[in-house]
Amino acid sequence: MLADRDLDEFLEVPIETRSRPARSFAVDPPKRARPVEVAARTGTAAFSPEPAISNDGFAAILSEVENVTTAVERLPKTFATMPEESLRDVLLVVLNNRFGPSSGETFSRKGKTDILVPWGGDQRAVFIAECKIWKGPAAFRNAIGQLLGYITWRDTHAALIVFVRTGSPSDVVEKAETELFGHDQFKRQSDLGGRPTFTLTQPDDSDREIHIALMVIPVLA
Residue spans of the domains in the chain: they are: 2-218
pLDDT for 188? 95
- As a whole number of angstroms, the distance between CA 78 and CA 169 comes to 19
- How does strand 10-13 pair with strand 39-40? antiparallel
The dihedral formed by the CA atoms of 95, 97, 99 and 101, expressed in degrees to the nearest 10: 80
Whole-angstrom CA distances from 133 to 65, 163, 186 are 16, 5, 22
pLDDT for 52? 77
| Local confidence pLDDT in tens for the 221 residues of the chain | 665 555 555 556 666 666 665 443 333 433 344 443 444 444 444 555 566 788 888 998 899 999 888 888 888 888 988 999 999 999 988 888 888 778 777 766 667 788 988 776 556 778 899 999 999 999 999 999 999 988 887 788 999 999 999 999 999 999 999 999 999 999 999 988 888 899 999 877 888 899 999 999 999 87
pLDDT for 30? 38
pLDDT for 193? 82
| List of residues 6+ apart from 80 with CB closer than 8 A | 165, 219, 220, 221
A 10 A CB-CB count for 81 gives 10
pLDDT for 1? 61
pLDDT for 9? 56
> Dihedral of CA 158/163/168/169: which sign?
positive
- As a whole number of angstroms, the distance between CA 107 and CA 31 comes to 16
Query: What's the predicted TM-score (pTM) here?
Result: 0.75
The dihedral formed by the CA atoms of 214, 22, 38 and 64, expressed in degrees to the nearest 10: -20
